[in-house]
Chains A and B, each alone.
Chain A
Amino acid sequence: MISTQPVTPTQSDLEKSGSAFDAEQLLKVRQMTRDAIHRIAQAIRPGMLEEDAVEMAKDMLADANMVRGWHDVYVRFGPNTTKTFGAPSEPGIVLGSDDIFFIDIGPVWKQWEGDGGDTFVTGSNPGMRRCADDARQIFHAVRQYWIEQGATGKELYNFACQQAEQRGWKLNLDLSGHRIADFPHASVYEGALADVDFSPSRLLWVLEIHIRHPSEPYGAFFEDLLLEDDYFI
C-alpha cells in the first residue's frame, strides 16, 4: 500500500543548502549588505521623494556590483514604514526633517545571498527614535533567547511578540524570518522561521523584526542573520 500521509520535513531538510554553499562567502555578503545599507542611509536626505531614494539605492547597489537581488530593493519613508513585504508604497512620500525611514535589501553577490534591513531617523522625534532603537533591541533580545535557550523558530517569534508588546509596539508577523543560502534559498524552503519547530542553526536563517506604532503611522524594521555576539560587535 502507498502511504498518502504527508511527510513532515525535518530540520536537515529545511536547512539544506546548494552546492555553492560557503560560510565565508555568506559572511562576506553579509558585511557588504550591512555596508551598503549604511551607505544608502547616509545618502538619504530630508526632502527626497521615496521613489527617488529607491532608484538611488539601486544605483548604489549597482555601483557595488550588487545590482542583482533575490528580492526587490525597499526604501520606505514615513507612513510607508508600516507597509508589509510586497505591499506597494503609498506614492509620492517625501522624507521630512523629523521623520523615519527604513532600508531593506536582499542582494545576490556572485552565488551568495545577502539580506539586511535597518531603520533611521532624520530628527529628534522621541517616538520614532525609540521605535528604530527598539527594532534593533528586540532583534538582539530574540537573538539572545536563541543563544541561551536554544529556542525553536516558533518560540523565537512568540518571544518577539512579547518583547514588542512590552515596549508598546505591534509586531508584524508577515515578516517572520526565513532561510538564507547560496542563491536561491527559495529552492530549499520558502516558509517562515516562525513556523519551524526546531532551533535554527547559525548562519542559515534571517531574523526579521518589523514593529509598528499601535495608532500612529510609522514603524521600524531590522533584520540580519542569526549569529553569535561576536558578529555584532
Chain B
Amino acid sequence: MTSLKPPGQIAGQRTVAIHHIERLGSDAVMLQLGIPDGTALSYEAGQFIAIHLPCGATRCYSMAHRQQAGAPLEFHIRLQPQGVFSQWLVDALNDAKVLGRTLSISGPYGDCTWRPLQSSADMTILLGGGTGIAPLTALLEEGLAQETRGPITLYWGGRQPNDFYCAAYFEALARRHQNFRFVPVVDTQDTRWKGRRGFVQDGAADDFPNLTKANVYACGSPIMVSSARQKLITQCGLDPDRFYADAFEPSVSIRDDARSSPRLRVQLQLADGSERIVQVAAGTSLMSALRAEGLMQGICGGQKSCGSCRIETDAAWSAHLPPPDRIETRLLAALSDPRPADRLACQIHLTPALDGLRIAIPDRPL
C-alpha cells in the first residue's frame, strides 16, 4: 500500500476549458467544462472534483451526470453572497469571451457512488437539497442505466417552487421509467406551491416507514444529511451501512471551509486531564477538525481502520450521535481497554446541532 498522500497528489491536476455557463433558477449556475485534449476524465457517478481557480481558491463540486463519452463535465453551483467563486461565476456569466478559457482540476474524489442492491426488489431513496441534486442526478442515471428494477424515489428539497430548475428532466425520466418517481418538496409556506411540504427526510420516512431493504443516498447541507441519517436509521430501520452521503457539503471550498461553514464549540478533556474548548467548522468530521487543531493523527484518513481517533463521548451527548455501524463497533472492541462510550471521531459528522459537544481524548494506548 502506498503512503497516505493527500488526494491532489494521487490524481494530479489536469487542464479543462470552459465549455458552457448559464444561470439555473434564481441563485445557481450551471458550469460545463471540457477536456481540451479529448481524453475522458474517468469517474463514477456521485464523485466530485476540485476546481482550482486562477486566484488560488479551490472549490469542490460533484459531476451532475454519469460519465458519457465526449460529453463535458457539468456542475451545478449555488451562488453564495461574497463568495470568491460565486463572484468569479457572476463575472463569467457576463463575459462573452469566457468560453474556451482554461482552469485546472484535480480528482475525481469521493465514495458516495452507486452501490448494487442486495435484491432486485430492493428500493433506492435519493435525498437532495438545492444543488445537492447534481450528484443525485448522476447516481439516478447510473441506477437507471444499470436497469435497476426496484423502485427509485428522488426527493428534492427547495425553498420555493422555482428552485427546482431541472424538474422537467426528472419528470421526463419518470415517464420513461415506471420504477422511478420524482417528489419535489418545498420547506416553506409558499402559497404558490401545491405539492409536498416539509423536509425531504420526513417525506421519505412518511412514504416508506420500513427501509430495511433500501439503499439511501443523501446530498445537501450537513444538517439535512445528519438528520436524514438519524431519522431513517432509528425510525425506519435503515441499515447504517446502506446510508451513503458526501463527506462534505457540495459547493464548499476545501480551503475556505472553516471560514464559510457554521462554527460550533467542542468541549475537550485532553489526555493530560486539562480541559479546552475549540471552535470548529460544521460540515466536516470531528477527526478532521481535531487533526487540524493538532490534537489527533487520524492515520488511516477516516477509513475506520486504525483507531487513532478514538474518543470518549460524554454520556449526555451519546444519544445525540448516530449509532456506530458494525465496522466501527468491531474496531472499537478490538482496541485495548475499550469502554462503552468510545467512538471514532472520524465517524462523527459535525453539524450545528452538536454545538457544545463534550468529549474526552483518552490517554489509553491503542
Q: Which residues of A contact B (CB under 8 A)?
A: 49, 51, 58, 62, 65, 67-74, 84-88, 90-92, 104-106, 108, 115, 117, 174-179, 183-184, 186-187, 189-192, 206, 208, 223
Contact = CB atoms under 8 A, between A and B. Distances in A.
B307 A86 contact: no
Contacts of A49: 116
Interface in B1-15: 1-5, 7, 10
Given A65-B334, A91-B116, A117-B1, A71 B7 contact: no
A72 B44 CA distance: 20
A62 B334 CA distance: 8
Interface centre among B115, B299, B303, B330 (most CB of A within 10 A): B299
Contacts of A206: 1
A88 B44 contact: yes
B106 to A, nearest CB: 13
A92 B148 CA distance: 13
A179 B110 CA distance: 26
Contacts of B103: none
A20 to B, nearest CB: 10
A90 B335 CA distance: 31
Nearest to B303: A72
B111 A115 contact: no
Nearest to B241: A55
Interface in B301-323: 301, 303-308
B341 to A, nearest CB: 20
B299 A115 contact: no
Nearest to A66: B334
A106 B2 CA distance: 10
B305 A69 contact: yes
Interface in B201-255: none
B327 interface: yes
Contacts of A190: 3-5
A183 B305 CA distance: 13
Contacts of B278: none
Given A72-B303, A72-B305, A186 B1 contact: no
Contacts of A108: 306, 366
